[in-house]
Amino acid sequence: MMALLALGQACWGNCRPSVRVLAVYSALMCLAGVAITGSRGGYLSVVFGLGAFAVLSLWAVQLTYRSRFWLIFAGVLAGAVVILGGALFFMSQSETIRAGSCKYTIPPICAR
C-alpha cells in the first residue's frame, strides 16, 4: 500500500524534485521488500495494485494530456508486460525456493 502511495506522489504530486526522488526510492524499496518475502499473494496484490494505478493514471492522462495519450499508453503497456513477466517468474521461483529450503529445517516440520 505504501509503495502505491509513494508512486502516486512521485507521478502526480505537486512537490519538489527531491521529494519525488525520495518517493520513487521508497516505492522501489517497498516493492523490493515484497519481492524478497517470496509471498505469491504479495506478488499478486502488487500486480493488481499497479494495474489499478496504471488504469487510473491513464484515465487522468486522457483527461489532461490528450495529445500524448497513445505514447503514454504504449509505455504503460510495455511496463505491464515487464511487471507481469517478472511477477510470473518470481511466483514460479518462490515454490522452488521453499521446496529447496526444507532440507535445512527440522525433519518433522518438513513432513507436514
pLDDT per position as a tens digit, 72-89: 889 888 988 887 787 778
pLDDT at residue 67, rounded to an integer: 87
As a whole number of Å, the CA-based R_g of the chain is 18
| pLDDT of residue 100 exceeding 80 | no
Closest CA to 4 of 47, 37, 40: 47
**pLDDT category of residue 102 using cuts at 50, 70 and 90:** low
pTM > 0.95 = no
Q: How far apart are the first and last CA of the chain?
A: 33
pLDDT digits (tens, 9 = 90+) for 24-46: 999 999 988 888 887 778 878 88
**Residue 105: what pLDDT?**
53
Give the residue-averaged pLDDT of 89-109.
59
DSSP codes of every residue in the chain? -HHHHHHHHHHH--S-HHHHHHHHHHHHHHHHHHHHHT-HHHHHHHHHHHHHHHHHHHHHHHHH-GGGHHHHHHHHHHHHHHHHHHHHHHHHHHHHHHHHHGGGS-HHHHH-
* Structure confidence at residue 111 as a pLDDT band (50, 70, 90): low
